[in-house]
């Protein structure tokens, strides 16, 4: 769902670049507070505005010792990192399910074989009726473990690939925005 929303938000980038000025461009990005593009643009504008020359009577702050480009770069990079972390937030659960489910199935197999051996030991003879039930349960547990693991791993890999593609768009937007913001600082 996040990837679909990000794809829809990415369509606003075209309108941003065709805007007459930065204010109109920000409006074109929409009002969705979850948009990494809007967050990136707002952070960049905030960083650029923070470095604008102000009242000469105010004592300079530590961040004003940064080069304009470095300050804006740092701010944009932090915003991209925040968006990346948000996009990857649920993937650990999916990866855990994909990696642990086969072991749960294997535990079920071992448990079923244990029950089969216990039934044989109690009866004193190895017959099909003593082995079939527990071994059948073991096979079912193995199948359930695989039925959980395979889709989880495939889904994880698909989502990681899509997240990488989405974040390339965010980073590219950030790089282009950096050029615009630095150009506006040089004009000021």
- 102-147 pLDDT tens trace: 888 888 888 888 888 888 888 777 778 777 888 888 888 888 888 8
Model pLDDT, residue 32 = 80
pLDDT in tens, 158-182: 888 988 888 898 899 999 988 888 8
Contact 46, 74 (CB under 8 A): no
3-28: buried (b, 16+ CB within 10 Å) or exposed (e) per residue?
eeebeebbebbeebeeeeebeebbeb
* pLDDT surpasses 70 at 23: yes
In this predicted structure, the answer to whether residue 30 has a pLDDT above a threshold of 80 is: yes
Q: Cβ(102)–Cβ(68) under 8 Å?
A: no
Q: What is the pTM of this model?
A: 0.69
Give the tens place of pLDDT for each residue, 37-61. Answer: 888 888 888 888 776 655 455 555 6
């Amino acid at each position: 769902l996040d990837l679909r929303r990000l794809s829809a938000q990415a369509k606003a980038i075209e309108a941003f670049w065709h805007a007459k000025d930065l204010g109109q461009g920000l409006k074109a990005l929409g009002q969705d507070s979850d948009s990494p593009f809007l967050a990136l643009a707002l952070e960049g504008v905030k960083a650029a505005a923070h470095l604008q020359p102000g009242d000469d009577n105010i004592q300079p702050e530590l961040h004003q010792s940064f080069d304009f480009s470095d300050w804006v770069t740092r701010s944009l990079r932090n915003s991209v990192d925040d968006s990346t972390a948000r996009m990857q937030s649920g993937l650990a659960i999916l990866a855990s399910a994909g990696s642990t489910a086969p072991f749960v199935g294997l535990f079920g197999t071992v448990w079923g074989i244990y029950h089969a051996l216990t039934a044989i030991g109690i009866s004193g003879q190895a017959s099909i009726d003593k082995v079939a039930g527990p071994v059948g349960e073991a096979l079912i547990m193995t199948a359930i473990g695989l039925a959980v693991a395979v889709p989880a791993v495939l889904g994880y890999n698909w989502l990681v690939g899509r997240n990488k593609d989405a974040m390339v768009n965010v980073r590219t937007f950030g790089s282009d925005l950096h050029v615009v913001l630095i150009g506006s600082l040089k004009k000021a």
